[in-house]
Amino acid sequence: MKGSSRHSVAEITGLAAIVLCIAGLLLTPQMAQGQSDRQQENMPRDNRPMMGQDCCGSWMGDGPGMDRGMGHGTRRGMPSMIRHRYVMRNGLPSTYRNKVSAFSQSGSTVAEGAALYAANCASCHGTQGYGDGEAGRDLNPPPANIAHMMGMPMYNDPYLFWTISEGGTPVGSAMPEFKEALAEDEIWKIIAAMRAGFPAPARAE
CB-based contacts of 189, cutoff 8 Å, min separation 6: 103, 109, 110, 112, 113, 116
Separation of alpha carbons 121 and 44, rounded Å: 27
Lowest mean pLDDT among 70-84, 116-130, 155-169: 70-84
- At residue 204, the 3 state secondary structure works out as coil
Nearest alpha-carbon partner for 77 in 63, 89, 91: 63
Q: What is the pLDDT of residues 62-101, one digit of tens each?
A: 332 333 233 333 345 566 788 989 999 999 999 999 999 9
Residue 78 is predicted with a pLDDT of 65
Separation of alpha carbons 165 and 176, rounded Å: 9
More confident residue, 54 or 201: 201
Residue 40 is predicted with a pLDDT of 38
Residue 41 has pLDDT above 50, yes or no: no
Residue 173 has pLDDT above 70, yes or no: yes
Domains, the chain: 81-195 (1.10.760)
